[in-house]
Structure 1
């Protein structure tokens, strides 16, 4: 009897260790997902600002060229040339910094991390209810870790600014917290919780 109790204690400890590892990975994946989302927002914002500046500069350049037809002041030509240069610079920035591609890469990485996050939630559910033996869970967790490693290897580089924004989103704004009211709003009445 004593041997059986010891064996059950060891099995319980094995499940706790797998749970601890999976929770740690879940936390890192949750952070990676949010950081990629915030980096996507940062790149998208820069892209939009440069586009607006480019449109504004193009309009001013066109107006300057038209104005130089009717007026001959040198300052108007100089201002038109400077604004035209700024417009060209915006186009070069957009082309060389590949904003569109970077936005897609960050968004794709965020979606991939989100998929792993969902798999880890189901994994933690299975560990909690001990729906599988420890060896099966270990093999499954190794596959999840391999998937995370693969995403990490391909994920685009992020900035400290994205990390700070992710921290605020997760800790202060609580971006990942979903209330029962919000869940209920998307469910039919029969599946809602009060």
Structure 2
């Protein structure tokens, strides 16, 4: 926490700082799970194409062996069939499509909590006396605990991609002009 915890800060100010830091961590976790989902989805597509290629090559070589009656093609067919079998067995040890779905689910849940943090900070800024800050903060922490307990692990590569998306590509940031395009005239801000 950047702010000092000296006695000259109001407890509300410290709570807001803690909530803001938690919000930042949720933003990063959400984006990291989105990037992990993208990576797992790409792996799932690659695995499908490798499987299709191996099956096609195996079938073609077997068909060629039958048509030409060449013993060399029989060995090639056997090798390709063995490779296809080994790849199929290897696939049983992981399921990138299922992993992608688990990351999507975690990201969706984190998105919802992220939005709750935004609304809590907005409520505090608007009327701090009307908000039970400590209770709502603790509820959000419990909700996060449940999400993180079930969420799949992410990788440092997914985190770096999330960091790049948030810091360089400015995901999660909008100009007034961008937001105004989505709103009716009566809700637009200059």
Decide: shared fold, TM above 0.5: yes
Indicate which of 23, 27, 38 corresponds to 1:26: 23
In the other structure, the counterpart of 1:3 is none
Give, in whole Å, the separation in 1 of the partners of 2:31 and 2:152: 13
Give, in whole Å, the separation in 2 of the partners of 1:188 and 1:82: 64
Distance 1:104 1:186, change over 3 A: same
1:71-115: CA deviation from partner (whole Å, max 9, x where unpaired): 233332222223223333333343331222211111000011110
* TM-score, length-scaled by structure 1: 0.85
Most deviating of 122-131 and 162-171: 122-131
In the other structure, the counterpart of 2:138 is 142
Distance 1:133 1:179, change over 3 A: closer
Give, in whole Å, the separation in 2 of the partners of 1:72 and 1:139: 78
Matches within 5 A, 1:162-177: 162-177=158-173
In the other structure, the counterpart of 1:4 is none
Most deviating of 77-86 and 31-40: 77-86
Give, in whole Å, the separation in 2 of the partners of 1:77 and 1:168: 50
Give, in whole Å, the separation in 1 of the partners of 2:86 and 2:109: 34
Most deviating of 178-187 and 156-165: 178-187
How far residue 137 of structure 1 moved from its aligned partner, in angstroms, is 1.0
How far residue 158 of structure 1 moved from its aligned partner, in angstroms, is 1.0
How far residue 133 of structure 1 moved from its aligned partner, in angstroms, is 5.2
* Contact 2:44/2:95 (8 A) holds in 1: no
Aligned alpha-carbon RMSD (Å): 2.1
In the other structure, the counterpart of 2:3 is none
* Contact 1:60/1:83 (8 A) holds in 2: yes
1:30-76: CA deviation from partner (whole Å, max 9, x where unpaired): 11101111111111111110100111111111111110012233332
Distance 1:147 1:76, change over 3 A: same
Indicate which of 109, 113, 117 corresponds to 1:116: 113
> Which 4+ stretches in 1 moved above 6 angstroms?
none
* Contact 1:116/1:148 (8 A) holds in 2: yes
Work out the number of aligned pairs and report it.
Answer: 184
1:156-182: CA deviation from partner (whole Å, max 9, x where unpaired): 111111111111111111122223343
Q: Which runs of 5+ in 2 are unaligned?
A: 1-6
Give, in whole Å, the separation in 1 of the partners of 2:76 and 2:142: 57
